[in-house]
Amino acid sequence: MGNASWLRSLSAGSEDGAHTLICFPHAGGSAISYGPLARTLGPRFRVLGVQYPGRQDRRREPLLGSVADLVEGMLPEIRELIPRTAGYSLFGHSMGAAVAFETCRRLEQDQAMRPAALFVSGRISPARKSSHVVHRYNDQELIRHLLDFGGTPAALLEDPDFRSIILSVTRSDYRAIETYACAPGATVECPLVALVGDSDPATSDADLKEWQPHTTGPFTQTSFPGGHFYIDANAHGVADLIRDHSARASSK
């Protein structure tokens, strides 16, 4: 796929009938952040990571500062993909959870094939308006925030060229998520599975529970050991959860 594409293949998914998992990264993140999970899921899953503009191989493209613009940008490619899948699920972490939720809503409104499951990770419910203004932090405040949260190697932030790119991308993504507000009563129809790290400073088990009214289908919530970026350390447990829910929905 060329650089203008929104989707990056992260696994072979070589088995006939492989289930497609479309993964939406966190603020400042890129498609490759789901590489470890893709490898853990193995060939029964075709894992695709969403590559937002302005980073890595799309670094020359303009950044998009709203969730709505991100969804609009990627929808045509996902719509084209879905009829060619043997079934698919969506997985979004942090900011990516809101982007995945809005993408799921649009796909269901299109009467496209419904996802087997929507996985939302490390994120407050769509009805909760963010009270943070991280996108207005000065550079030093934003660097401190990134280091406190983890997920961004300190060495990259010490390099002036990398630091400039990281701060620009991250600030744009935070603007998108901190100005996001979903439509009142917005729901999806597919099963919704909410996940969190048990020591995540930004999202708690109680916060996850607030996702339940946003689906008319089954709701499940699960916590794993770790902070906001718990997924890699729990790749096997998260992969088992994805396998279980994807298979359960697909068998109905």
Return the active site residues. 94, 228
Nearest to 227 by CA among 207, 203, 199: 199
Beta-carbon contacts of 52 under 8 Å, excluding residues fewer than 6 positions away, are: 6, 25, 30, 58, 64, 70, 173
Which tokens go with 48?
């695709």
